[in-house]
C-alpha cells in the first residue's frame, strides 16, 4: 500500500487547515527584517502588519535544498513510500529549483516528485485542500497524481491592492505599472498569468473590481462542474463579504472558502490591504 507524504512550502499556509494533517511537512521561506533573518513560522500576522505599516525594509529568500532533503529523509524514516513536493510558481521564486536540486541529493529509497503549479500562496492552498482529502482516504499514488493534474489544470488567481509599491520594490511589477496604480489612484487588478504576476486591468472603484472577479467566476462555472472559490481579503473585510454575498446570490454550486491572511513573504511583496480570488475547477 502506498504511503504518501505531501511536502509544501510555507507560503501555502494561509489558514490553519493544512496544518492538521500528519502526512504534510513544510519547508520554510525566510524573511530578512533590517538585517535579521526569520523563518516564516517565526513571524505572526500582527508583526507583519506592523512592519508593512512602518515601511520596514524587508527582503525574502527561498529555502535551501538541504531543507527539502531533511524533510524528505524524515518522511523516509516514518515509512513513507512517496513524497509529492508542491511549491509556489517557479516564475516568482527559486523555491522550485531548490526542491529539484534536493531531489538529486536524496539517497534514501523513496520516490520523490516535484511540482510547481501556476499558482502561489492561497491559490496553492485552494487546490491542496482537495488533494489532501484524497491522500487521507488512502487513494494510491497513481490516482493521487491524476487528481493533482486535474485540480491544477487551470488555476486562477487575481486580486486588487491598495498600494503597488511592494510589488514594484520586489521586482514583480515595473515602474510604469506601479506609477499607474499608486499615483493615479486607480484600482489595479493583478493576475497570475503563466505563473507570473501581471497587472491586467485598471478600475476606478472596488465595485468594478468585484465585477471583474465575478466575470471570471462565471467563466469557470459555465465551463466546469466543480468550482472551488477562495475569497481573500487583507484588511478589506467589507469587500470580501460583498463578493461572497454576490457569489452566493448568483450561484448555488460554488464551494466558497474565506481567507484573511497571507504568509509573511507575501506581506512583504503584496502589502497588507487588498481583496481578490483564487479558483480551482474541474
Tell me if 44 is assigned to some domain: no
Cell of 281: 475547477
**Domain shared by 104 and 176, yes or no:** no
CB 264 within 8 A of CB 12: no
**Domain shared by 137 and 165, yes or no:** no
* The pLDDT of residue 161: 87
CB 10 within 8 A of CB 29: yes
Q: What are phi and psi of 118, to 5 degrees?
A: -75, 60
Residue 68: Cβ within 10 Å count? 28
Give the CATH number of the domain where residue 74 resides.
3.40.50.10170
Tell me if 143 is assigned to some domain: yes
Looking at 124, 151, 178, the residue that finishes a domain is 151
Listed residue (162, 169, 163) closest to 59, CA to CA: 169
Strand ranges across the sheet with 58-61: 36-39, 30-33, 58-61
**Domain shared by 276 and 176, yes or no:** yes
**Domain shared by 138 and 185, yes or no:** no
DSSP string, 180-232: HHHTS--EEEEEEETTEEEEEEEESSHHHHHHHHHHHHHHHHHH-S-EEEEEE
**Domain shared by 105 and 177, yes or no:** no
* DSSP letter assigned to residue 154: S
Cell of 94: 527559486
Tell me if 56 is assigned to some domain: no
* The pLDDT of residue 169: 56
- Residue span of the structural domain in which 253 resides: 156-281
Tell me if 40 is assigned to some domain: no
Q: Is 258 strand, coil or helix?
A: strand
25-61 residue pLDDT tens: 999 999 999 999 999 999 999 999 999 999 899 999 9
Classify each residue of 129-149 as buried b or exposed e, where b means 16 or more C-beta atoms within 10 Å of its C-beta: bbbbebbeeebebeebbebbe
Looking at 117, 151, 185, the residue that finishes a domain is 151
* The pLDDT of residue 187: 85
60-71 residue pLDDT tens: 999 999 999 999
Domain count, the chain: 2
Listed residue (51, 127, 52, 57) closest to 89, CA to CA: 127
**Domain shared by 261 and 146, yes or no:** no
* The pLDDT of residue 269: 87
* The pLDDT of residue 55: 86
Q: Mean pLDDT in runs of 10 for the chain (282 residues)? A: 96 93 98 97 96 91 98 98 97 96 96 96 98 97 98 97 62 56 72 91 93 98 97 97 98 96 93 96 97
**Domain shared by 163 and 119, yes or no:** no
| Nearest-angstrom CA–CA distance, 135 and 151 | 14
Looking at 128, 151, 174, the residue that finishes a domain is 151
* The pLDDT of residue 15: 86
Amino acid at each position: 500500500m502506498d504511503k504518501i507524504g505531501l511536502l509544501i512550502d510555507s507560503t501555502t499556509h494561509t489558514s490553519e487547515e493544512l496544518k492538521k494533517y500528519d502526512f504534510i511537512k513544510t519547508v520554510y521561506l525566510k524573511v530578512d527584517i533590517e538585517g535579521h533573518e526569520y523563518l516564516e513560522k517565526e513571524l505572526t500576522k500582527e508583526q507583519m502588519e506592523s512592519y508593512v505599516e512602518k515601511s520596514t525594509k524587508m527582503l525574502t529568500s527561498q529555502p535551501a535544498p538541504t531543507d527539502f532533503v531533511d524533510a524528505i529523509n524524515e518522511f523516509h524514516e516514518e515509512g513513507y513510500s512517496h513524497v509529492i513536493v508542491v511549491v509556489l510558481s517557479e516564475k516568482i521564486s527559486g523555491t522550485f529549483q531548490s526542491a529539484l536540486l534536493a531531489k538529486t541529493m536524496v539517497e534514501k529509497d523513496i520516490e520523490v516528485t516535484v511540482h510547481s503549479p501556476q499558482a502561489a500562496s492561497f491559490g496553492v492552498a485552494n487546490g491542496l485542500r482537495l488533494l489532501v482529502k484524497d491522500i487521507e482516504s488512502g487513494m494510491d499514488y497513481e490516482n493521487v497524481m491524476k487528481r493533482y493534474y486535474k485540480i491544477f489544470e487551470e488555476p486562477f488567481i487575481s486580486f486588487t491592492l491598495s498600494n503597488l509599491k511592494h510589488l514594484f520594490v520586489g521586482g514583480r511589477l515595473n515602474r510604469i505599472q506601479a506609477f499607474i496604480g499608486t499615483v493615479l489612484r486607480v484600482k489595479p487588478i493583478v493576475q497570475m498569468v503563466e505563473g507570473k504576476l501581471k497587472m491586467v486591468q485598471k478600475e476606478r472603484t472596488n465595485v468594478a473590481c468585484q465585477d471583474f472577479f465575478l466575470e471570471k467566476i462565471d467563466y469557470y462555472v459555465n465551463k466546469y462542474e466543480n468550482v472551488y472559490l477562495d475569497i481573500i481579503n487583507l484588511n478589506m473585510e467589507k469587500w470580501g463579504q460583498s463578493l461572497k454575498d454576490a457569489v452566493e446570490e448568483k450561484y448555488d454550486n460554488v464551494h466558497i472558502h474565506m481567507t484573511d491572511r497571507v504568509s509573511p513573504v507575501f506581506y512583504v511583496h503584496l502589502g497588507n490591504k487588498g481583496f481578490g480570488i483564487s479558483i480551482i475547477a474541474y
